[in-house]
Amino acid sequence: MLGPLSTLDEVALRPRTFRSPRSARPATQQHVEIPEQSLLRIPVEELLSFVTEVFAAHDVPRARARIAAEAICHGDLTGNPRIGLAGLTRTYLPLLESRQVRPRAEPLVIADRGAAALVDCRRALGLWAVSDAMDSAVLRAGRYGVGLVSLRGVNAFGRAGHHAGRALPHGMIGLVLATGGERNTVREGVNPLGMAAPGGAYPAFVFDLDAAGLDGPAPATAGLMLLVEVFAGLLSGVEDHDHDTGLFVMAIAPTALRSADGFYRAASALFGSLLGWDDGAPIRYPGWREAEHLEQCQALGVPIDVHLYRELAALATDLHLPLPQGS
């Protein structure tokens, strides 16, 4: 954490278990094609424990390693394996082995004003550092209604939406903005925006914007890029650092402004109004299918491509770790 703060009061806005509402179901059963089996399934806890041990074997403190494991497995747990565990051997371990990432770096708090702080992570593992910043923002929001942590000194950090989602168990709204070190540009490969909000009676709204998705109308795209640059770049001071990433991490406690019951009912009405069917296809908002896939993983195991499993097996052999067994 980025400094000791008071414990959060309990709030009533816990994220709800996925359950498809009756009004959102089609009148007749839909035919679903079942693809040929080509994946192995690994129990969630076994996979997270294995990845934790891999990071720990690379000198990442065990508590940080667990948080990093949750961040990198986010894509696999929510149905987006392209942005998940596949990056372990391609991105994160090479960064650790080349010392571009310092596994035990202690973040330096440059300024702390209670509700807001500026922190230099000093090349700590981004998968951990951004989640830690959101946890700190949540603690600050528990005291002040809003918590903001501006970060720099962070390398690859995974999906902004995952880190924003750490606010959800506390009934809060999470927002993460990120930019590269060059002015007025969103660095290729950096996930520039992630947001998570409680969905009331429905699954939480979790939205990720890819840099590749910034291809809309020029004025809107330029405006969004500048918004990200102002909050994630100018506040963090990252423009003075080459090959660095600046982040804006914020948590908002709705119950600081209105009743928990009022917010819950309003969120349920908002997200419930977005559900429906169009020509037999379900209409859903970002976060719905991810919540459904997560529950399937918890019940059946995490689907892992056989090629990725071979990479994990090679890692297990190299590091003398037990390999989680797929089924």
Task: Give the chain's largest Cα–Cα span.
Answer: 59
Mean pLDDT on 29-39: 49
Count Cβ atoms below 10 Å from residue 87 Cβ, excluding itself. 16
pLDDT band for position 221 (cuts 50, 70, 90): confident
Q: How far is CA 276 from CA 23, 202, 279, 288, in A?
A: 8, 13, 10, 12
d(CA 286, CA 203): 9
Overall average pLDDT of the 147-154 stretch: 96
pLDDT score for 242:
65
Residue 225, burial from CB neighbour count under 10 angstroms (0-12, 13-18, 19+):
middle
Spans of all domains in the chain: 38-275+284-319
Using CA atoms, how far apart are residues 18 and 26, in angstroms rounded to an integer?
Answer: 17
- What's the pLDDT score for residue 27? 42
| Half-sphere exposure for 319 (CA within 13 Å, toward CB) | 20
| Residue range 38-275+284-319, CATH number | 3.30.1370.60
- Token pair belonging to 288: 């719905």
Per-residue confidence at 214, pLDDT binned at 50, 70, 90? low
Instruction: Please name the residue that has the structure tokens 């090479």.
Output: 94
pLDDT, greater one: 29 or 239 = 239
Q: What are phi and psi of 308, to 5 degrees?
A: -65, -40
